């Protein structure tokens, strides 16, 4: 049952938790500030310090999870179809949050939403293509 849950819900949930802890909650406009505050620095070989932000970490997690979701979408089991439907619901939720809640009007959340949309589109396309290959045509059929 857990295989059907879209993993991209995890970075979206993490963003929601970060946004709800802001003063003013989802109505706060300080989410962009929180997402761009450096959490730690990484020393590069050139001597420059690379500041890593919460938004960077959420996007990294989203990209890793998107890769896993792409691998999961290649199966044509019933759980994959449920996963695609739940991913579509997740995208609709992300779209509503992005359009209606000020705390979600950030580039970080927009890119997370695009990742969810790509998961939905890729999942449906991969399922359709693999379903077309599973159909057997008789002799003489195209």
Give the model confidence (pLDDT) of 88-130 as tens digits. 999 999 999 999 999 999 999 999 999 999 999 988 888 777 7
Per-residue model confidence (pLDDT) at position 135: 56
Per-residue model confidence (pLDDT) at position 70: 86
Report which of 37, 4, 13, 2 is spatially closest to residue 112, judged by C-alpha positions.
Answer: 13
Residue pair 34/22 in contact by the 8 Å Cβ criterion: yes
At 134, the pLDDT band (50, 70, 90 cuts) reads low
Q: Provide the whole-model pTM.
A: 0.84
């Amino acid at each position: 049952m857990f295989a059907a849950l879209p993993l991209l819900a995890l970075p979206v949930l993490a963003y929601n938790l970060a946004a709800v802890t802001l003063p003013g909650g989802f109505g706060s406009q300080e989410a962009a500030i929180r997402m761009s505050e450096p959490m730690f620095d990484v020393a590069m070989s050139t001597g420059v310090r690379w500041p890593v932000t919460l938004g960077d970490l959420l996007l990294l997690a989203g990209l890793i999870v998107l890769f896993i979701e792409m691998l999961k979408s290649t199966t044509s089991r019933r759980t994959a179809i449920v996963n695609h439907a739940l991913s579509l619901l997740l995208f609709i939720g992300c779209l509503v949050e992005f359009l209606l809640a000020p705390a979600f009007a950030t580039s970080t959340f927009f890119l997370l939403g695009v990742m969810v949309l790509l998961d939905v589109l890729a999942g449906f396309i991969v399922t359709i293509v693999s379903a077309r290959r599973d159909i057997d045509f008789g002799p003489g059929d195209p």
